[in-house]
Structure 1
Amino acid sequence: MLNKTLLPQTVAREIQTMIQTGALKPGERIQSQRELSERLGVSRASLREALLTLETLGLVKTEAGRGTFVTSPADRAAGPSAHMAPWRYSQSYSAFDVFQTRIFLEGEIARLASGRLTQRQLSEMEAATETMEECWAKQDVLSNVEADLSFHATIVSACSNQMLQALYQTVRDLITETQRQPIPMTDPERMRESIAEHRRIIEALRANDGAEARHAMETHIRNTARCAGLNP
């Protein structure tokens, strides 16, 4: 049983494991939130957040009036017809607006982080990129996205402008969702391209080339947005 203090991400990982091992089968209706939260020993709030994360990643889908179901491998096949969850922050900002903001914000953050990253941080970014690649190969999408988030967070931590760092943290939940949202649309070729884009960002930062770091980051975010069907 999970400890009740664990974060929703850990709950999501437990459910992902249940799907991968067949404890939860494709097409199976997931227990009610009350039943599943009791089964896992977590709060219903943590469970709700975990299910929202898994739906964004394409592992489950919610049907109005019917409940939440495990998606089938066919549903999870990447491509234009892949299931993509509704944008959960639609009452605040559109996904387009968030991607557009990311281009400006993270591009400038990358420029200002140039020359400030330690060798250890650069190595951590390389390791995160390798983790993304390895986890995608075994379809551990939660760990893939966690590594992606770590990659971007390391750059933010080295930004010389503390106000830009604070702005990033203010909108981090929305940024995180744009890193999860394209996953159901991401095919192996796009993931290879994304990995290569990460490595170009690292190269620019290692070379202390702020202009190239900004360009590489902006290109990466634009391409991610296009994967989600947007063109900011």
Structure 2
Amino acid sequence: MIDRTPVSQAAARKLQQMIHDDTFAADEKLPSQRVLAERLGISRPSLREALLTLETLGQVRTFPGRGTFVTKNGARRVSDNPDWRYGEEHSIQSVFEVRILLEARLARHAAAHATLDDIQALAEFTDRMERAWAVQDLIENVEADLAFHRRIAAKTPNTLLAQTYDHVAALLSETQRQPIPFTREERMSESIAEHRRIIAALDQRDPEAAERAMADHIRNTAACAGITV
């Protein structure tokens, strides 16, 4: 099989592992982007994208004129959250508002169209989330979460809704990464339980319950990021 993992994502995983095994210790300044890109064998644009992912997840922090540093372990306060990377285009508030409307409706559609294979896949994505969080593999945790939501979105027969979801997918994905730095153990347990409620509603082919469970999940995720929707 061909490995289709984006270069930047593979680099983010490598850097995360280097942080976990103390190749780069807490509070340590990372090498310059030129040196780090050469060390990883990637382009500087790919490295910058990888560092943006890690910064959103709270594993590094960039300070203008000083460089990029590994952050200390542990959840941060909402006020410590890195800048919303799409702020010049749309506020995080507006993206969460769109997300709750769009994904709740997509969940409603999925209740009528999800197959047994879909239900099993959604359960596995949720299990992957839980396992990844247990070992603090934040990249895998978020990737499994993204796969969960994409699988549900793919079940809609409404092509315009599907195209709209694809068009704003990068924005929606960022709202799934953004709360991670200050997600505490109990909130992740709640989030995983919310996923399982969505799965149960889909399995029971209950569109109202699926729509409500998805809306509640996104609302709670937004609250974790300090956003009310």
Shift of 1:72: 1.2
Partner of 2:94: 97
Partner of 2:24: 24
Counterparts in 2 of 1:24-43, with a 5 A limit? 24-43=24-43
Change (3 A) 1:58 1:89: same
Partner of 1:215: 212
CA RMSD of aligned residues (A): 1.4
1:128-185 CA distance string (max 9 Å, x none) = 1011111111100000000000000100111121111110110011111100000011
Letter in 2 for 1:87: W
1:49-78 CA distance string (max 9 Å, x none) = 0000000000000011100000111xxx22
User: Structure 1 runs of 4+ off > 4 angstroms?
Assistant: none
Q: Is the 8 A contact 1:79 1:187 kept in 2?
A: no
Q: Is the 8 A contact 2:19 2:25 kept in 1?
A: yes
Q: What is the alpha-carbon distance in structure 2 between the residues aligned to residue 202 and residue 60 of structure 1?
A: 34
* Paired positions, count: 226
SS where residue 115 of structure 1 aligns?
helix
Q: Is the 8 A contact 1:109 1:159 kept in 2?
A: yes
Q: Is the 8 A contact 2:76 2:182 kept in 1?
A: yes
Partner of 1:197: 194
Change (3 A) 1:189 1:79: farther
Q: What is the alpha-carbon distance in structure 1 between the residues aligned to residue 113 and residue 78 of structure 2?
A: 42
1:89-115 CA distance string (max 9 Å, x none) = 000000000001000000011111112
Shift of 1:85: 1.0
Q: What is the alpha-carbon distance in structure 2 between the residues aligned to residue 111 and residue 81 of structure 1?
A: 31
SS where residue 142 of structure 1 aligns?
helix
Letter in 2 for 1:214: E
Q: Is the 8 A contact 1:19 1:70 kept in 2?
A: yes
Partner of 1:144: 141
Shift of 1:79: 5.2
Partner of 1:160: 157
Letter in 1 for 2:38: E
Q: Is the 8 A contact 2:78 2:226 kept in 1?
A: no
TM-score of the pair, normalised by structure 1: 0.94
Letter in 1 for 2:25: K
Partner of 2:172: 175
SS where residue 62 of structure 1 aligns?
strand
Q: Is the 8 A contact 1:82 1:184 kept in 2?
A: no
Q: Name stretches of at least 5 consecutive residues in structure 1 with no aligned partner.
A: none
Letter in 1 for 2:52: L
Q: What is the alpha-carbon distance in structure 2 between the residues aligned to residue 157 and residue 173 of structure 1?
A: 16
Q: What is the alpha-carbon distance in structure 2 between the residues aligned to residue 81 and residue 202 of structure 1?
A: 29
Q: What is the alpha-carbon distance in structure 2 between the residues aligned to residue 147 and residue 61 of structure 1?
A: 24
Q: What is the alpha-carbon distance in structure 2 between the residues aligned to residue 66 and residue 44 of structure 1?
A: 18
Q: What is the alpha-carbon distance in structure 2 between the residues aligned to residue 6 and residue 142 of structure 1?
A: 13
Shift of 1:83: 3.3
1:3-29 CA distance string (max 9 Å, x none) = 9x9521111000000000111111111
Partner of 1:135: 132
SS where residue 194 of structure 2 aligns?
helix
